[in-house]
């Protein structure tokens, strides 16, 4: 797979099941993760990023479930960021 990979993409190893995610907002055109000497496959799901409106801290939620998931920082709700 060639081309820039958007932030939040998840890649999985078809052999051992290891997963990695893209954290950078921008990256080069040659990102092709490998594990167990095989190319990793792009998953359908993505990491959901949240940012603190006060201090700018960021988190990535691997599997946020339901409306009850509301991360907080600096005593405020964190804001979900747009994908991509």
The token pair at 66 is 């339901």
Q: Distance from first CA to last CA of the chain, Å, rounded?
A: 17
Q: 21 and 10 in contact (C-beta within 8 Å)?
A: yes
CA-closest candidate to residue 12, choices 38, 49, 48? 38
Q: Is the pLDDT of residue 27 over 60?
A: yes
Q: Is the pLDDT of residue 6 over 90?
A: no
Q: How confident is the model at residue 1 (pLDDT cuts 50, 70, 90)?
A: very low
* pLDDT for res 5: 61
Domain range annotation of the chain? 1-46, 47-84
Q: Does domain 1-46 have CATH number 2.20.28?
A: yes
Q: Mean pLDDT throughout 26-50?
A: 89
Q: Mean pLDDT throughout 61-80?
A: 89
* Beta carbons within 8 Å of 58's beta carbon, 6+ residues apart: 49, 50, 51, 52, 81
């Amino acid at each position: 797979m060639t081309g820039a990979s958007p932030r939040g993409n998840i890649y999985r190893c078809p052999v051992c099941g290891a997963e990695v995610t893209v954290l950078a907002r921008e990256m080069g055109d040659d990102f092709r993760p490998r594990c167990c000497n095989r190319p990793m496959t792009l998953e359908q799901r993505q990491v959901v990023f949240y940012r603190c409106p006060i201090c700018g801290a960021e988190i990535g939620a691997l599997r946020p479930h339901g409306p009850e998931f509301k991360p907080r920082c600096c005593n405020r709700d964190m804001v979900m960021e747009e994908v991509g």
